[in-house]
Structures are given as C-alpha cells and as structure tokens.
Structure 1
Amino acid sequence: MSNERMNNVIILHLLLLFVLTIVSQASHAHYSLGKEKVTHFHFFFRERPSGDHPTTVLVAKPKDTIMNASNPLPFGAVYVLDVPLTEGLDPNSKVVGQAQGLAVSVGQDKLMVAFMVDCGFTSGEFNGSSISAFSRNPILETNHREIAIVGGRGKFRMARGFAELHTVTATANVVVVEYNVTIFHYE
C-alpha cells in the first residue's frame, strides 16, 4: 500500500473515531438530563404601565418621537418590565412569580413587540425555576396569540415550548394577560 493511500486510511479511521466519540457524548448527555417531560400550567401576567409603582417603564425611545395615547409604543421604543405573575384573575390572588425582561416595539406598520422575558416562579411546585420567552408578541391580537418558550432553569432546564396568551383586561392603568403554557423539559 502506498504512503498516500495509507495516510488516507488513517485519516478516515481518525474521522470515524471522532464522529463516534461525538455521537457517544451526545447520547450520554441526553441520558444524563433525565427523562423528557411535558408540563402544562396557567398563570396571569398583571402589568401596571402607570401609577405610583409601574411594572413596565420606558427606557428608550426614538429621537423626536411623540408618545401619546394613540401612539403608546412607537417603533423603536424599549420598555423594561418587572411584572407579577398571579395564580388567579382576582387582583388579590396569590403571586406565584415575576416576569422580568424587555419589550421592544418592532412593528413599523402594525403594533408588534419583540418580547424577551424570564418568568421566575417564587412559590408552589415550580418555586426556584423559570421559563424564558423570546418571541414576537402581536399585542393587539387580544383573543389569541402565541409566544415561544426557548429555555428555562431549575425544573425547566432545557425547556422549549409555547405559551398561548389571551388579554383579559387592557386599560391605561392595568393590563392582565392569561398565559396557558405547554413546555417540554427534562426532569
């Protein structure tokens, strides 16, 4: 066998060994995460955009933009949020967590936000865990819209899934959005 051919055989064997090592490690990583599980849960996002203690605050807006009731989210506006999550619709229902993140107005022709938020749970079965959403949120579609769940922590490590949103109340003082969440994660 020529030296060139021998080198090619060695290279092929090394590539095969490399591929088998990667596949073996990926397979082992899958099993070390545990069994994949589907979880469904429900909560309410209770936003206060105005008043003494707003939960959503404008932190940046486009130059020379006029903010008013007819244009509350002009293209390019950036809001930071820290919104309580409650287990029920009643304003006095138990707080089960906080949604913290950003909402950026990204629609030039239609009101649309890019929504980047981590929902951290502070009580109940999911205490200490969180889910993370990063998605378009067509907020004027009040009856039904969907956002992507792209990650999580704690019990929701490696989460992926979706949340179906329904706006229950939308006034200048309060916005309440119902979340029905379906996620795939590892136990």
Structure 2
Amino acid sequence: MTNTSRTLFGATHVIDDSLTVGPEPTSKIVGRAQGIYAFTDLNEFGLLMVFNYAFVEGKYNGSTLSVLGKNSFLSKVREMPIVGGSGLFRFARGYVLATTHSLNLSSGDAVVKHDVYVLHY
C-alpha cells in the first residue's frame, strides 16, 4: 500500500540518531535515539514511534528510556509516553513533548527537540 498511499502508510524506518545538548550539529552528543518508526495512519501523516534513548555520557551513561506512541509530526507539539527504562531509569514513566526545530523536505532530515518529563526510582 505504501506506493499508492498519500500518507506513506506502511513505510517503516529504523533509526540510530544522535541525542545532543542543542540543535547545532557540533553540539555535545549525550546519547542515541535508537528504534523504529512506521507510517500507520491512512488519513494523515502519523507515525508509530518505538525507540530508546540510550545515554552514553555522565550520570546516565548506560541507562535507557523507552518511548512508544503516536507522532503526528505535522502538529506543532507531539506528546509520546515513556513506557519504561533501564539502569538509573528502571521503572520509568513519563512523557516526551516533541517539537520540530528544522526540517529539510528534500532530504527528509529533521532536527527535533524532545522535552522529557520522567519519574523513576
């Protein structure tokens, strides 16, 4: 259906993106966003996001946060739930607010700000 769908329904992508302190390409890397997203909405551009923030710096090095939720990426702010974590984020719960900082429509590359609100033990 992907080839005939105006919303790219069925297209699936695997990600391993840098998590940085700021939006600049030279900003310090503190982790990776690793997972999968798929176009799962027949009527609008909507993604199912399944990914981990895998931290590689400082106090949270080796810990992860797991996110699973819908991302209607054309909306100004998108909320996705945090469904768990590991290491210092064991038993984590919370949410992520995602906003697009920049988007290159030609390449599909985007810089997205994630504000993370998390409770953990």
TM-score (norm 2): 0.92
Work out whether 1:74 is the aligned partner of 2:8: yes
- 1:26-175 alignment, distance < 5 Å: 62=1, 65=3, 74-141=8-75, 143-171=76-104, 172-173=106-107, 174-175=109-110
Which ranges in structure 2 are unaligned for 5 or more consecutive residues? none
* Amino acid in structure 1 at the alignment position of 2:111: V
- Name whichever of 100-109 and 165-174 sits farther off: 165-174
Work out whether 1:177 is the aligned partner of 2:112: yes
- Specify the structure having the higher radius of gyration (Cα): 1
Structure with the higher strand share, 1 or 2: 2
Deviation, structure 1 residue 125: 2.3
**Runs (4+) off by over 3 Å:** none
Deviations, residues 124-167 of structure 1 (Å, cap 9, x unaligned): 221111100000111111x2111110000100001010011110
**Which structure's relative contact order is higher, taking Cα pairs within 8 Å and 6+ residues apart?**
1
**Cα distance in 1 for residues equivalent to 2:27 and 2:58:** 14
Deviations, residues 1-43 of structure 1 (Å, cap 9, x unaligned): xxxxxxxxxxxxxxxxxxxxxxxxxxxxxxxxxxxxxxxxxxx
- How many residues get paired? 119
Deviations, residues 66-88 of structure 1 (Å, cap 9, x unaligned): 69xxx5x6101111111111011
